[in-house]
Structures are given as structure tokens and as C-alpha cells.
Amino acid sequence: MKNNFFQTVFDCLMEPDLNLKMQRLSQIQIDWSEDDFDFTPTAKVVRVPDAGRPEQPELVSPKLLPRRRLGSKEGHASLMHSIAHIEFNAVNLALDALYRFQNMPHEYYRDWLGVAGEEAYHFQMVREHLNSLGYEYGDLPAHDGLWMTTYETDHDPLIRMALVPRTLEARGLDVTPPMISKLRTIGDKRGVEILKILLHDEIGHVEVGSRWFRYLCAERNLNPFNEFQSIIKNYFHGDLRGPFNFEARQAAGFSDEEIQWLKTL
């Protein structure tokens, strides 16, 4: 009998052990490629206030995260640690997008499973680099807010697509180029190489979000531009603020209208 796709993804989402989570995800990718899944929706879809993650890092409010100079060894490691934390969370949020919204077209699952796989690859790559600096993922405290928006948008894939890939992940497109410059300044060649891969792939992930956001708007007869603006207004806690990486955002499926609007913020 084939395994249920949604249940299998859920088990991976809730797996707390880093290595086991990555192994489970690889197995899902193999089973997917062999067409070995049953897609019957699960009897219920549970909310996930906290996805499976290791006991360390300790999660703290961003205000309590120590600020360290990038020039110091600790500062360098702490930047890499925070990127590792983002990538680890990104694995969980792709898994949640797969598990939670069970009535989407087959291509949606193909796309988000692809994202999950790339996030896992990013995480491993950043983790190895962090190891080379003498630290392991979990050695430093990390941001406690990354899962919150995922949890708060678990009732509607349209809102999820608008806020998680198109707002939070899209922010990564803006902040990565300056980070690349900083790493170049301190001579971290491997770090620069890794962040370039991340930036390239993240454009694809935001594009997946844009595509499914538009798909859901079309299905509900909504104007994507108005809808995006109103979702930001009603759900987004932060301040949508530049500087924006317009070129990357355009490549990630932001419309000319949206780009013009961002320019006014």
C-alpha cells in the first residue's frame, strides 16, 4: 500500500531531530519521484504552533539576541548561525505548506516539495560552513518569531502565499546582497559563494509563492494587486520597508504594479 503523502509530510514536519528530519525529507523526495504516494486528504488537519525542531538553539526575542561585530570570530559565526536558523525554519515552512493545504493541484506539491529540498540543501551547506568556523547549529540563541507568521496564516493558502514567501522570504532577496558584500569585506569566500546560491534559489521560492498566490486569486476572482496590499495591511506585523531589491523581486514574480507600489513605501 502506498503511504499517505500528507501524513508522511506531517511526520517529517514534526520530527525534532535534525538529521532524521533531513533523512525523512530525502525519502519523501524519492517516493515522490517513484510516484509512491496516496493523496487522500487526512481526516483532520492539525494546527502546528511549534514545528519539530531540536532543543537547541534556544529561541529568544530578537531584541535579546546579542549584536556582534562581523569582524570578530563570534560575529562571523553568529551571522552564519542566524542564516542556518532561517534555512532550517524554511524547511519546516515548506513542509507545512505541503501538509496543510490538501486541496491544491498536483503541481503545487511538486513546487513546494522542490522548495523543501532546496531549503534542506541550504541548511546543510550553511551548517557545514558554520562548523568550519567552530560552531554547530544550536550553539547560539536564535530568533523566536520565524514560525509565527506561518502559524497565523494556517487557515488560508492565499494569505500564506502572500505573507510567507512573498513578504518574509522576499525580504531575504533585499538583505542578501549587502550581506554578501560584508562577507566579501572579511574575506569569507565560501560564505560569499553560499549566499549567492541562496539568493539565486530564493528568487525561485518567492516565484513559487507568487505563482500560487496568483492562481488562488484567479480562482476566487480577486485582483491580486488589491489583495496583496490588503493582506499586508491586515496581517503583517512588521513594516514593509526598503531598500528593496527590485530586480530580484521582479524575477520572483512581483508585477510592475507591485514594484511601483513598493517604490512609494
Least Å from the CB of residue 171 to Fe ion: 12
Which residue, judged by CB position, is nearest to Fe ion in the bound state?
Answer: 122
Contact predicate 119/94, CB 8 Å: yes
CA angle 129, 32, 148 (to 5 degrees): 55
Residue 129 binding Fe ion, by CB under 5 A: no
- Nearest residue to 88 via CA among 112, 116, 60: 116
Task: Using the minimum distance from each CB to Fe ion, give the nearer residue, 111 or 119.
Answer: 119
CB of 91 to Fe ion, least distance (A): 8
- Does 122 participate in binding Fe ion (rule CB under 5 A)? yes
169 binds Fe ion (CB under 5 A): no
Closer CB to Fe ion, 90 or 203, in the complex? 90
Instruction: Name 50's Cβ contacts closer than 8 Å, sequence gap at least 6.
Output: 147
Cα first-last separation, the chain = 53
| Residue 207 lies near Fe ion (rule: CB under 5 A) | no
Concatenated DSSP letters for 27-50?
HHHHHHHTT-EE-PPPS-----SS
CA atoms of 107 and 101, how far apart (whole Å): 13
Question: Of 81-89, 91-99, 130-138, 154-162, which segment contacts Fe ion by CB under 5 A?
Answer: 81-89
Q: Which is nearer to Fe ion, 12 or 90 (by Cβ)?
A: 90
119 binds Fe ion (CB under 5 A): yes
User: What's the min distance (Å) between Cβ of 85 and Fe ion?
Assistant: 11
Q: Contact residues for Fe ion (CB under 5 A)?
A: 87, 90, 119, 122
